[in-house]
Amino acid sequence: MISSQQDSQSLNRLTSHFDEILARFAKTGYGDPDILPQLLPPTAAQATKTEVLAAAKALMAIPGGMDVLYRRVKAIESAGVFAHSDWAQPAILQPDLAKRSLREGEAVYTLIEVLSEIRLLAVASGDYFHPGISAEQAGNFLTQVMALNLDLLSGQMTEADRERPHNLGTIVQTHYNYLLDRLGYESILDSLVGEVERQLVQRPVQTDSIKQMIVQIAKCLLDPDIETSGMHRAEKLVSATFGPTEACSEDPGVEVYAQRLTTMDEKALRHEAETFSRSMHETGLVSPYHAVFVRHLRSHGHNDLIAPALGLSITGNDVLQCFTQLIHTLIDEAVFPDTPRAVYGLAMMLEQGTLFTPGVASGLWRQIALKLSDDTSERLTTVFGDAHPPRVFLLAGVMTLLGLPMGVGQGNNPTCQSVIGLSMWAFNDADYLLQLVAWAARDDEILMRFEGQPVSSRGLEAGLAKTPPIDVDPVSLVLVPHLDRIYIEMGRLCGTRDDDLHRWINPEFYGWWVSHGFRVVADIHTGMVTDYDGFIRNFYASYHPYYNGGMPLIHPQPAGIAVTDSAARLVGRHAIAIRRVALDPEGDMRVYFYNPNNDSGQDWGQGINCAIQGTGERFGEASLPFAEFASRLFVFHYDTLEVGDMNAILAADVERVIELGRGSWAKEF
């Protein structure tokens, strides 16, 4: 109650302040079409307009603030906030430019764009008449803007959004949700389906935000006032989530479905198993009913149907036969309607043959019986609830991560180095990952070594993430804070050295298989790009099969990129992992990499768009043509004994990479 009263008081205070500033701005005459702006006292008018935008921004940041601005659209227009700019003529505005203003523009342009779209929302809703644009035109414009910003539906902001000053990224997210609430999902349903499919093809460990979007799709499909005929893709997503098989197609509830299973014969159960697995592998979605079904197989002696229920190939079935007791125990202990993702994780873990790696099976037996610390239990319960003991959620998270090693994301946390570790260990060193999880969950500590010196996470100050992450998977929740602190501590132990500290940290932090050769494109003392030509030639000679003697990449290698936005402007440095270099189906050489951000399909400007499917990507990978990737490269590791002839690289290839780099992030260096 007190919090609600405080929110109301803040809203009233900020509303009064906005009205006062807007009235003062209106008196300057800036909005009078008969007065040229150059005839007005420039400092007074512009200063007051700046105050108006600042007051509007304060309202945008609090609950109810958007409604306040919506009710004042006419006053905002009349005062001249849009005057003497393209926004004064809404009919000429372009959705793609509006996206740039919202997501990439300076603060003043972003705030004016938000106000303009609130104005168009009022026009589209019939609450405000504008002589320059019809209600239909306004609605179509907003629909296109929303479709162009569908990534905001996931609730996860990109690096560019997160790094924007003055909380602009969050304000844009709030604005987008406001438009969505008022206009409804039906206006962008087809685009929404495409966005869900695009995210699912990356096979994320976490799917809660995706399921929320599918819930909205389902509401649209069930709404008789919305035309959805022929929306087979939408129906497939909804079916995979809420009722993949005929026996649960109407979403009867898990208890009713469990009762129905008891009446099925062997043939019916096998049909259920095959339908569930087909839906799971085709969409990447797992229904809670699938977990109910797998538990039924265990409890009713139908263990022979577990392989088809998981959709296993010969490889997966071989693993199942070799580790039957362990797999049955994992199902009993971790697969529940509240943890359905563990079904997919288990299936993929078996398909990848992870259990054939020495130490993994033993590590999982330890994980099953692991006694969690009080702190670990409390954090897991806070985030995932108390429907099951905390160890259940952690075990389910371990299974999912081992099965989907490229599906783990950092979310909104600046811990890309730590998350790269989780992904690479899950893929390349699973028994070591299980050891780290055991230490962190049981002992509230992990241990590593740096140049022979033991490093413990206990007692270290917070690293880059100043507060523990809460919007992450169970393994990240438990392990990332420890990893983050140790990574920063290794940097401290480096002291002052003559090269970028990642050169020494990465091999110690990630593992022996990180190459000790290292190149950074910028001088660590001046920050300026040095020997760009040599940097690019070194990368080509180390990674490009045409120049390194056809040597494949044996282990994933950490690397640093200069992330740019869709206007090719520098956002900041970011850690990724290079997984492989290979020809795509069209015969072009591409770099396939893992990006720990929750969405790898990003637009980096200059026509450089990270592909996530269609050009040879495996689930969770992103890829770019070799030269385009090289143009955003900042640091990389390489084997000094396996470098090709750097002079053999075609000068035209090197020049193209340098031109792309200098035309984007390298402008500042």
* 568-602 residue pLDDT tens: 888 889 999 999 999 999 999 999 999 998 888 88
Retrieve residue 586's tokens: 């069209």
Q: Taking Cα atoms as reference points, which of 437, 373, 372, 445 lies closest to residue 400?
A: 437
Q: What pLDDT, on a 0 to 100 scale, did the predictor assign at position 164?
A: 84
Q: Within a domain: residue 95?
A: yes
CA angle 191, 196, 202 (to 5 degrees): 130
Under DSSP, is residue 640 helix (H, G, I), strand (E, B) or coil? coil
pLDDT at 469: 75
| Mean pLDDT for all residues in the chain | 91
122 found inside a domain: yes
Query: Could you tell me if 27 and 77 lie in one domain?
Result: yes
Q: How many domains does the chain have?
A: 3
H/E element holding 571? strand 570-583
Instruction: Tell me, yes or no, whether 458 lies in a domain.
Output: no
Is residue 10 located within the same domain as residue 93?
A: yes
Q: 221 and 87, same structural domain?
A: no
Rounded Cα gap, residues 118 and 559, in angstroms: 42
Residue written as token pair 């992030």 = 665
Mind spelling out the 3-state secondary structure of 161-218? HHCCHHHHHHHHHHHHHHHHHHHCHHHHHHHHHHHHHHHHCCCCCCCHHHHHHHHHHH
Res. 44: pLDDT tops 60:
no
Q: Which long-range contacts (CB under 8 A, 24 or more apart) does 264-267 make?
A: 266/302
Residue 615 belongs to domain spanning: 517-668
167 and 206: one domain?
Answer: no
Share of the chain above pLDDT 90, in %: 71
Residue where one domain finishes, among candidates 157, 183, 209: 183
- Looking at the structure, tell me whether residues 219 and 108 fall in a common domain: no
Please give the residue that has the higher pLDDT: either 527 or 278: 278
Which of 617, 572, 633, 567 is closest to 597 using CA atoms? Answer: 572
Enter the pTM of the model: 0.83
74-101: pLDDT as tens digits: 999 999 999 888 898 898 888 878 888 8
pLDDT value, residue 46:
66
pLDDT digit string, tens, across residues 318-332: 999 999 999 999 999
pLDDT in tens, 291-304: 999 999 999 999 99
Q: Is the residue at 378 inside a domain?
A: no
Q: Hey, is 19 helix, strand or coil?
A: helix
Is residue 34 helix, strand or coil?
coil
Q: 613 in the Ramachandran plot: left (φ > 0), alpha (ψ -120 to 50) or beta?
A: beta
Q: What's the rounded Cα separation, in Å, for the pair 613 and 450?
A: 38
Q: What is the pLDDT of residue 413?
A: 63
Q: Which residues lie across from 456 on neighbouring strands?
A: 447
Same domain, 177 and 39: yes
If asked whether residues 215 and 175 sit together in one domain, one would say no
In a domain, residue 134? The reply is: yes
Shared-domain flag, residues 530 and 655: yes
Residue at which a domain ends, from 174, 209, 242:
242
Query: Are 639 and 597 part of one and the same domain?
Result: yes
Q: Judge whether 193 and 234 are in contact, CB under 8 Å.
A: yes
Give the residue, 646 or 162, on which the prediction is more confident: 646
200 pLDDT more than 70: yes
Cα(150)–Cα(230) distance, integer angstroms: 22
94 shares its domain with 156: yes
Token couple for 217: 């799709």
Q: Does residue 219 sit in the same domain as residue 171? A: no
Q: Could you give the CA distance from residue 218 to residue 256 in angstroms, rounded to a whole number? A: 21
Rounded Cα gap, residues 616 and 430, in angstroms: 25
Going by C-alpha positions, the residue among 300, 284, 384 that lies closest to residue 334 is 384
Same domain, residue pair 205 and 69: no
Does a structural domain hold residue 499?
A: no
